[in-house]
A and B are shown apart, each in its own frame.
Chain A
């Protein structure tokens, strides 16, 4: 961490917890009687509350999207490259709201929160939440903050799914939906990778059917493996090649099975670090939410029919080397929007970093994102 904060940073921020007492009915049929959402906000809400932007996080994300919690932080929030003064989501103009979703493990009610009925962590009893459930809880958050209509709902990957779901469930409550590196539904291959990750977790001896909290244990190995396999799908062959190639940690082969290649030790390190900060039950929930997301399902698979209620304008962005949610998936979405006569703009950004590219500020990505959000700001007088 530098001695002083960068001038294009939102600076020091602190999260706050908002408690909701109104029961939330979930897609699975269960009801959450009450829950907490942890939220960070950046910028200032204007007088007519027209300049609010909602940030929806991806699989392992949380509310801390921009700025620093303390001067000792090694890194800023996860989307600091795109949120801040003069950045694409310009906090001099927008009021930015970022939350940790239900089922998360960073302070919002989730499997590691205490179940008021038992006084012990929910664990596997926490209901399986869906993208639509998240959006419903985010709408309650908007009510709480006095935001009737978002200038834009923005998200990458799983976050993009929430931005899309918003346009279907609350069509008059957002002006723009920005869907980045996302997909209208997972492919069999996507679900397969999620299943490997879940199997890694649930087959860990320290998982205890999801009640590992009671044992004071964490299924670290399982979570680490889950993250390792996930991480591979976030990168491209080319970017891994450029970063690691076949580079060895030492000069010669050792004819054993330790981490000899740099890529092995990188993945192990990433996996280990993740397993220390993330909750295994949350990982299961988040991957299931991904699997279930399919707004076209109730419309015989016809996404353009599902899009009928939408009123917002869409920006869809994909990245050339993203093979997890490839440009073809974004184009599927765009074509359905065109068919449904919705307003949409689309660009495929040439970037070598695979799925992770949505977090990395390449010039063309930044230019497009800035130009589009500038127009959104002008539209709402921000």
Chain B
């Protein structure tokens, strides 16, 4: 099982109503529907992904976060709003996070860490924009227009009064590593954050 699925499913209770922003081919929702009896939707704009979702029984809505936002979802209607590996690709991540925590009681966000040592090393040595397995694009064609580091994300949460309930730092294969736990912003490639505005 993909390690990030394993981690995320621990935070999902049976029957949870879930919204997955940028749900891709629906792997995660399909998994949560089967393993956790979860309900809900994915939002996606890639036509092939949408077709795959429909074929596997994942409810998917064609909706562009950048242009349409989440206005069509009521306050607090989801238990969890997920966003895996998509935060860095939206135009205004800060507003998306606000919207996630408006329509959901809890958010789960994963994104690549731009401060990972290999990216820092690449930039320092070559003087060129870094590329990696998690970020395999050129600077001019990358969909990842809002890259940030774990520290940046946590600073934004602090500024917005958002509580980080858990953080798991993993490597590119979503595996746990003790090194990444020791020095996350340098050695962690991907972080999985569980955030909320609720006090409990």
Surface stretch bound by B, among A69-77, A102-110, A236-244, A363-371: A363-371
Structural contact, B54 and A371, CB atoms closer than 8 A = yes
Contact of A372 among B17, B47, B55, B72 (CB under 8 A): B55
Other A-B pairs, 17, CB within 8 Å; known A331-B72, A334-B61, A346-B60:
A315-B54, A338-B41, A338-B72, A338-B73, A339-B74, A339-B77, A343-B39, A344-B41, A344-B61, A345-B54, A345-B60, A346-B63, A347-B54, A364-B51, A368-B51, A371-B54, A379-B57
A86 vs B56: C-alpha distance when bound (angstroms)? 18
B197 at the interface (CB under 8 A from A): no
By the criterion of a CB under 8 Å from any partner CB, how many residues of chain A are at the interface?
Answer: 22
A195 at the interface (CB under 8 A from B): no
Q: How far is the CB of B19 from chain A (nearest CB, A)?
A: 9
Hey, which chain A residues are within 8 Å of B51, CB to CB? 364, 367-368, 371
- The SS class assigned to the B binding surface is mixed
- B residues sitting closer than 8 Å to A (CB atoms) are 17, 39, 41, 47, 50-57, 59-63, 72-74, 77
A375 at the interface (CB under 8 A from B): yes
Q: How far is the CB of A326 from chain B (nearest CB, A)?
A: 15
Structural contact, B50 and A375, CB atoms closer than 8 A = no
Hey, which chain B residues are within 8 Å of A379, CB to CB? 57
A331 vs B72: C-alpha distance when bound (angstroms)? 9
- The SS class assigned to the A binding surface is helix
Hey, which chain A residues are within 8 Å of B59, CB to CB? 313, 343-345
Structural contact, A347 and B72, CB atoms closer than 8 A = no
A335 at the interface (CB under 8 A from B): yes
9 A-B interface contacts by CB (under 8 A)? A315-B54, A345-B53, A346-B61, A347-B47, A347-B60, A348-B62, A368-B51, A371-B51, A375-B56
Q: How far is the CB of A26 from chain B (nearest CB, A)?
A: 35
Hey, which chain A residues are within 8 Å of B56, CB to CB? 375
A7 vs B56: C-alpha distance when bound (angstroms)? 28
Hey, which chain A residues are within 8 Å of B73, CB to CB? 338
Structural contact, A346 and B62, CB atoms closer than 8 A = yes
Q: How far is the CB of B41 from chain A (nearest CB, A)?
A: 7
Hey, which chain A residues are within 8 Å of B60, CB to CB? 345-347
A315 vs B41: C-alpha distance when bound (angstroms)? 13
Contact of A335 among B39, B53, B55, B72 (CB under 8 A): B72
A8 at the interface (CB under 8 A from B): no
Task: Please judge, given known A-B contacts A343-B39, A345-B59, A346-B61, whether A368 and B72 are in contact too, CB under 8 Å.
Answer: no
Q: How far is the CB of A339 from chain B (nearest CB, A)?
A: 6
Hey, which chain B residues are within 8 Å of A335, CB to CB? 72
Task: Please judge, given known A-B contacts A338-B41, A345-B53, A371-B52, whether A364 and B47 are in contact too, CB under 8 Å.
Answer: yes
Q: How far is the CB of A294 from chain B (nearest CB, A)?
A: 20
